[in-house]
Amino acid sequence: MQIDTKIIAHRGSRGTRPENTLISFKTAIDEGAEGIETDVHFSKDKRFIIMHDETVDRTTNGTGLIMDKPLAEIKQLDAGIKFSEEFKGTRVPTLEEVVEMLIKINFTGIFNLELKTNKIHYPGLERAVYEYFAGRHYPFQLIYSSFNGKSLEILNRIDPQAYKARIFRTAAKQAKTLKRSKVIEDFHPDIRWVKKHPFYAAARHLRPWLVNSTEDMQYCFERNMAAIITDYPGRAVQVRAEMRGGLI
């Protein structure tokens, strides 16, 4: 079976490693993922912090908002202990550290960077991220995404050539408006919404999340969607190989 669907690891191999850490991203790539997805915030001293939540509470041994903490304080937190004792001492990475790792291993897949501005709109984050990437060479395909359409519009004004996607759970009309306005190229919808609205967009423009069950993986692979975003990239690689007839 012809399947071109790429596998993007959601916060790395989140199902098997502490999310949004270097070991999580490296594991996902080693398992065969063609892409990794992650999230970026601003610290108090305007450093790029890789974490999903606006607070450090859920994934580290600390408490409080990222925006209230300088990088030095965040670097003292343990980002692995809550996942498993095995990963005690794992640190919260910066965007720079993730990119350096990807460059070091010559990662040529997709790097999907979500701007986490839907709850806290960090002023200047869009331009700061743009300027960081504009100043360096990297081997991967950079895709920006966000739940916040305004962030994507800001980024589009700064760099119309940037590859952008709108994430949504149910806000499909707003996403379509951004597409018609040429602000975004693709859609990153909730898989549950996709299954209820199978004719929303061409498969080549869809990268649904969170595609974790074998059934949902098969659903996306059968339709040859652009990519899936999953917590279990290793499992997805196996399912896709089986559907391809054993060909990785």
For the chain (length 248 residues), average pLDDT per consecutive 10? Answer: 96 98 98 98 98 98 98 98 98 98 98 98 98 96 98 98 97 97 98 97 98 98 98 98 84
The residues facing 187 across adjacent strands are 166, 206
pLDDT digits (tens, 9 = 90+) for 31-80: 999 999 999 999 999 999 999 999 999 999 999 999 999 999 999 999 99
Neighbouring CB atoms inside 10 A of 157's CB total 11
**Residue 94 DSSP code:** B
Which CATH number, 3.40.50.10320, 1.10.10.10, 3.40.50.150, 3.20.20.190, labels domain 6-16+24-41+101-243? 3.20.20.190
The residues facing 38 across adjacent strands are 113
Which SS3 state, helix, strand or coil, does residue 45 take? coil
Known active-site residue 10 = yes
Known active-site residue 52 = yes
Predicted TM-score of the model (pTM):
0.97
Catalytic residue among 41, 52, 121, 205: 52
d(CA 140, CA 94) in angstroms, rounded, equals: 18
